[in-house]
Amino acid sequence: MDIRLDNEVAIITGGSRGIGAAAVKLFAECGSNVVFAYRSNADAAAAVVRSCPGGPGSDGRVIAVRADVSKMRDARKLIETATKRFGRIDTLVANAGIWPADPLPIERLSEREWDEMIDINLKGVYTVIHHAVPHMMERKRGRVIVVSSTAGQRGESFHTHYGASKGGLISFVKGLSTELAPHQILVNCVAPGWVDTDMCVPVLTGRREARRISAGIPLGRVGRPEEVAMPILFLASEMASYITGEVLNVNGGNVLCG
């Protein structure tokens, strides 16, 4: 059975690259209207739009919105763009996030670096959910899918602010899932491990380090963005209509969490 989201409306943050871009393309291929946010790279966002079946020259089913979701006003603009253009929201994929490739021991981790991580990775999920959920509650239907990380489950030394932000997302999902269940809004989380995205390029382009990382993954390789986008699509589909409050691990067996 193929997954189809014909005429549904999805909002995806961090949609100009990596997992977000793969999700935008996949949702569009499955018939969804997509509004995605990007923070700064307009050229990359335009390239994603062009690559989708609902891109330029069609019926405008894929729209890119410049928005820094760590700011409430930008998050509100993103949600309002979707509702004004398409009239509703079926799925929100909160994917935008950052990860610093360079190790940051706690004694060198600055307040600015801590605040930036929490603002984008954690607050940036709160802002879009805050503005999107009232529209879902009105319709008594919705899917919220948050992209966390295996680092949110096991922590990550020398990237402790990243692990803290992603761990906060998992707790946020657990609480929201029960809070929003009476409104028939399903809230779930996808926790990727190593994925071959531009965010990880500084580490994965080093041959020795890439081999070390792959050797620690039971499947013997890092994941592809599409391999995370597909589980996200599953959680947005009717195949997942009785799943809420869950963390779906997508990591090649690297971190086995119950």
Which residues are known to be catalytic?
162
HSE-CB at 93 with a 13 A cutoff on CA atoms is: 34
CB 62 within 8 A of CB 24: yes
Backbone angles phi and psi of 136, in degrees to 5: -70, -40
CB 174 within 8 A of CB 153: no
